């Protein structure tokens, strides 16, 4: 049985003081999150301070990005070693904003996944289509490309360590959300891809999150679907009460 995993992506919000305050509130509210794994992925400046604020809580901490090299002349970048030295466990890789605003390619995403896994970080690999791709009937082709380019050829143990986050780009920050049925269809497709490459046991162990305007009023319906194992949450993770409600979703 896959354990649900709810992760917040704070994006480029919260200075250090604000991030520490929100982390402290989450530590109080989520002292007992139940049978759910919880993490917050914060900006690099606040990373170490948020780790400290959450050290005695069940809420884990992650970074939002990393470079594929261990070190070097890469101004403004952050390495896996730096993330680990701050005390974080997770890292988001290939978020649509990184792909479509900053031009990350499939090759770059794979290199970043290599670096994260080699360092012992727990990656959250984002995949998903843009609106024009969905309207053109290319959702499965795009998702297949993202999944296979990142995970293809890897040993099963690396695949199981990777959380896959299906994030339809058209639903991120727009207020639009894939219906539970639409999300379930793509999650089932992703699980089928994993089963084809690594077998049903590995496919049954991989956690697949949904991301895209997840809110307290839609989380229950999403989490009721059999292949949706959690959520990667943007805006709703910036409010402690809202995020608490997502973590404590009502089970069907």
Is 95 annotated as catalytic? yes
Predicted pLDDT of residue 21: 98
Q: How far apart are CA 138 and CA 129, in angstroms?
A: 8
Predicted pLDDT of residue 10: 98
* Spatial CA neighbour of 162 closest among 205, 128, 192, 193: 205
Res. 176 pLDDT band, cuts 50 70 90:
confident
Q: What is the CATH number of the domain that holds 89?
A: 3.20.20.70
Q: How far apart are CA 92 and CA 234, in angstroms?
A: 12
Predicted pLDDT of residue 192: 98
In a domain, 121, yes or no: yes
Predicted pLDDT of residue 183: 95
In a domain, 252, yes or no: no
In a domain, 36, yes or no: yes
Q: How far apart are CA 171 and CA 248, in angstroms?
A: 22
Please, where are the H alpha helices in the chain? Answer: 16-29, 47-53, 80-85, 96-100, 106-119, 131-135, 139-151, 156-161, 180-198, 200-205, 219-223, 240-247
Predicted pLDDT of residue 140: 97
Q: How far apart are CA 123 and CA 135, in angstroms?
A: 29
Q: Which of 95, 104, 146, 187 is catalytic?
A: 95
Among residues of the chain, what percentage have pLDDT more than 90? Answer: 92
In a domain, 174, yes or no: yes
Q: How many domains does the chain have?
A: 1
pTM (2 decimals)? Answer: 0.97
Q: How far apart are CA 215 and CA 110, in angstroms?
A: 30
Mean pLDDT of 49-62: 98
Range of the domain at 81: 5-247
Q: Which two tokens stand for residue 172?
A: 């991120």
* Spatial CA neighbour of 147 closest among 130, 161, 166, 133: 166
Q: Which of 97, 104, 129, 167 is catalytic?
A: 167
In a domain, 100, yes or no: yes
């Amino acid at each position: 049985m896959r354990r649900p995993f709810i992760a917040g992506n704070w994006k480029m919000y919260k200075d250090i003081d604000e991030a520490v305050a929100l982390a402290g509130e989450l530590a109080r509210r989520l002292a007992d999150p139940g049978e759910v794994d919880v993490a917050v992925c914060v900006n690099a400046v606040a990373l170490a301070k948020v780790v400290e604020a959450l050290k005695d809580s069940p809420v884990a901490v992650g970074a939002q990005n990393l470079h594929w090299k261990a070190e070097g002349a890469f101004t403004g970048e952050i390495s896996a070693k730096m993330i680990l030295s701050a005390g974080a466990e997770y890292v988001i890789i290939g978020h649509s904003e990184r792909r479509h605003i900053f031009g990350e390619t499939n090759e770059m995403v794979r290199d970043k996944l290599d670096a994260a896994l080699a360092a012992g970080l727990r990656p959250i690999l984002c995949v998903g289509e843009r609106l024009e791709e969905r309207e053109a009937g290319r959702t499965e082709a795009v998702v297949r490309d993202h999944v296979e380019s990142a995970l293809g050829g890897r040993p099963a143990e690396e695949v199981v360590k990777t959380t896959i986050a299906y994030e339809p780009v058209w639903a991120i920050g727009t207020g639009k959300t894939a219906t539970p049925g639409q999300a379930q269809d793509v999650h089932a497709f992703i699980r089928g891809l994993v089963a084809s490459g690594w077998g049903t046991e590995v496919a049954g162990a991989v956690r697949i999150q949904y991301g895209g305007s997840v809110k307290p009023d839609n989380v229950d319906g999403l989490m009721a679907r059999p292949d949706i194992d959690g959520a990667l949450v943007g805006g709703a993770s910036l409010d402690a009460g809202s995020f608490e409600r997502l973590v404590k979703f009502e089970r069907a």
